[in-house]
Amino acid sequence: MRWELLLCTATFFTASEWNFIHCMRLLLFWSNPVLLLIGYVIIIVAALGTFSVHGSLVALWVPTEYIAIMGLFIGGFIAGNGSKVLKSSLSAMGMALKGSKYNRALYVDLLSLLYEILGKVRKEGLMSIESDVENPDSSAIFSKYPSVSSDHHVIEFMCDYLRMMVGGNLNAFEIENLMDMEIETHHQEAHQAPHAIDEIGQAMPAFGIVVCVMGVVNTMGAVGEPPAVLGKMVAGALVGTFLGILLSYGFIAPLAGQIKQKVEENGKIFQVMKVVLLASMNGYAPQIAVEFGRKVLFATDRPTFLELEQELKNRKG
């Protein structure tokens, strides 16, 4: 499949309609980071390949234009963001090149963990989970689900609200409001990085114009040169505009889009925990409570009712 996909990418613009559809189907089997890189390759081939048919790629090699626009990009990004956002943006760029851990298997583990905890509460009372909530790292229940317990944000969220349940009488409406505010805070914080990257991406065409204007000014200072020399200088100046637009819409915008999608994926797990815990607080049995959580999952990650039921039975047995 790997070589078939590479062949599809190489012949993307010359393939027949059937081959195009076949290529699109093959792409569905690949993770988002791979698709991002494949998209970059297609963009480069489309931009430079079509140009090379009628001209020489050497004309695009103007080192000073590249240095200038990259300097403006880095300077603008640093000047427009604080250290916290810069750090999270670098981390988010790395995250975009990694596969997502939020899949059906992880959510089945999460729902199974919640089912086991709530089942213990129903049989033995709230105080029975106090030691598990206070020390999740040494808990026999949490240790069964390493894919969930390895995420400290998830464990912290879950244990905080389980601790409140153990602590005393709760008003489910007030707890729901608190959960919503915490999830919204997490959502806003997570969106800072893609927002910063998207903002600098939108500025790149303007930076390209700045570099182009600088080149034109330089050209105007050499009006006494032969037309061939002036034409080469103008062409060099226009490379700045070309780079600004290409980097903005061809590279930075897709990267920001991938990061935004991952942020949305990361936030879903908190919504699942929220509805399961609230259902339990409102008196629903563990089996029904986890069904609430299953229903809020994305369709691609959601196990069927029978699949989840069978999984819970197998783990219980």
Q: Where are the domains of the chain?
A: 1-60, 62-317
**Average pLDDT along the chain:** 84
Q: List, as one string, the DSSP characters of 245-305.
A: HIIIIIIIHHHHHHHHHHHHHHHHHHHHHHHHHHHHHTT--HHHHHHHHHHTS-TTTPPPH
The whole-number pLDDT of residue 274 equals 94
14: tokens are 């010359």
Instruction: Count other Cβ atoms within 10 Å, centred on residue 224.
Output: 7
Q: In angstroms, rounded to a whole number, what is the distance separating the alpha carbons of residues 123 and 100?
A: 36
Instruction: Count other Cβ atoms within 10 Å, centred on residue 50.
Output: 11
Instruction: Count other Cβ atoms within 10 Å, centred on residue 55.
Output: 11
What are the tens digits of pLDDT across the range 49-91?
Answer: 877 777 777 878 888 888 999 999 999 999 989 899 999 998 8
Residue 8: enclosing H or E segment and its boundaries? Answer: helix 2-10
The pTM assigned to this predicted structure is 0.76
Confidence of residue 288 (pLDDT cuts 50, 70, 90): very high
Name residue, tokens 């880095």.
74
Q: Per-residue pLDDT for 269 more than 70?
A: yes
What are the tens digits of pLDDT across the range 144-173?
Answer: 999 998 888 999 999 999 988 887 777 888
What are the tens digits of pLDDT across the range 196-229?
Answer: 999 999 999 999 999 888 888 887 777 777 877 7
Q: Which of 181, 113, 198 is nearest to 149 (CA)?
A: 113
Confidence of residue 20 (pLDDT cuts 50, 70, 90): very low
Largest Cα separation within the chain, whole Å, is 92
Whether the CB-CB separation of 191 and 260 falls below 8 Å is answered with yes
Q: In angstroms, rounded to a whole number, what is the distance separating the alpha carbons of residues 44 and 33?
A: 17
The whole-number pLDDT of residue 94 equals 81
Query: 200 vs 10, 187, 242, CA distance in Å?
Result: 31, 21, 16
